[in-house]
Amino acid sequence: MMEGNNGAMNLQMAIQEYIARRYRHSADPDLLEPNAIAKRLSQGVRPAQIWLASDPADDEDALDGAADFIVDMDSDDGADAAEFAAAAGLKAEYVLVDRVDEEDPRLVWVIPLINNECIQDRTALVIDQTPLGVAMAAWPHFRIRIPVHVLDVPLKSLPISMSQMIIANRENPDMGVVRGQDPQDARNKRIVDRHVRDMLETFLVWSLACGQLPPLHVAGSSGLKRTPSRGELLRQVAQALGVNPVEAGQLIEGTAKPTEAQRAALQAAGVSLESAAGRELTLPADLLVEVEQPAWRQATLYYAETHGIQILPARMALAQDAFELAARPSGHGREAWRGALAQVVAGLE
């Protein structure tokens, strides 16, 4: 288990604990059981799954606020995990997976969900029974494409037939899927409109982020230069200067300048920061797809913390390290790169 004080990582664990307590009466006892979550993550993203999607902030103040956020998780005040996350500086929503994008598997088509059946109108479908043990409102006409890396916690699946019914925006009372009702008064309409507006703003931000992904089959550079010996160089710099990995990474990347005393210490130890200057790498499409998957999310957050960089470049740096570790991986496709990424992650622990 990787440890650290990164605010985003702490918040992910807090959200999972919140969901576990909030839905402790769920019909599925292993909904938030760690081994069950790990198994679902390893199985990848599939149609009919329900996920909690969230977007950890890169802003340090937001992360600090998230880590310090306190909530009475045993109260039953109607708040849900998405609201808890939002209050802690994190965009979070529930989603129903329609399908992974055929042209770019780093993207996924989803239907927004809200686990408060009071938030509904005639454009929504209300699902009477879900794996969370509560009714949820689905918004099929807001079907949208988002990056797969925002999927955070897999919360089991609906029956395929029910999922297809919802995606087609059709009700079926026999399946427990009925058309939502419009609010009965102006006050409730304002509440519903506010929730839907906030939900759509989050999904639109995520949808726009699809265009920020590096093109497949083209150089997937994060702007960080790498050499096969970078991991060893990180250890050498940290040992020679008595600094932590974050500070060593900043010196290697050039985001911090060594003092004269540090230069002398590096020279005495025979360590050259110039050896970090290397070629930009063109990363294989299968590797770029694999590193975006939710299974590598926690590793990316930990990498960002230990190397003193933000989350987006950390994801690319993790892929670059895997590429350098296994420039000629055994096997083919994403499965081979999955093994290389696992080796990099093991080295971070």
- End-to-end Cα spacing for the chain: 7
Q: What is the pLDDT of residue 218?
A: 45
166 vs 177: CA distance, rounded Å: 8
Query: What is the per-residue pLDDT for 96?
Result: 98
Strand partners, 147: 107
How far apart, in whole angstroms, are the C-alpha atoms of residue 218 and residue 135? 44
Whole-number pLDDT of residue 63: 39
Contact 99, 47 (CB under 8 A): yes
Report the SS3 class of residue 19: helix
| 285 vs 161: CA distance, rounded Å | 33
pLDDT at 225: 45
- What average pLDDT values come out for the chain (349 residues) when binned by 10 residues? 46 56 59 86 95 70 39 42 55 93 96 91 94 91 96 93 96 96 92 92 92 70 45 77 77 82 89 62 84 93 81 85 68 80 81
Indicate the Cα dihedral angle 258, 262, 266, 267, nearest 10°.
Answer: 100
pLDDT on residue 288: 92
What stretch(es) of the chain map to CATH 2.30.30.110?
7-212
Whose CA is closest to 84, among 93, 109, 337, 216?
93
Give me the pLDDT at residue 139, please: 96
pTM (two decimals): 0.74
pLDDT for 223: 42
- In this structure, whether the domain defined by 7-212 belongs to CATH 2.30.30.110 is answered with yes
- Cβ atoms 101, 51 nearer than 8 A: no
Burial class (CB in 10 A: 0-12, 13-18, 19+), 54: buried
Residue 237: how many CB atoms within 10 A of its CB? 26
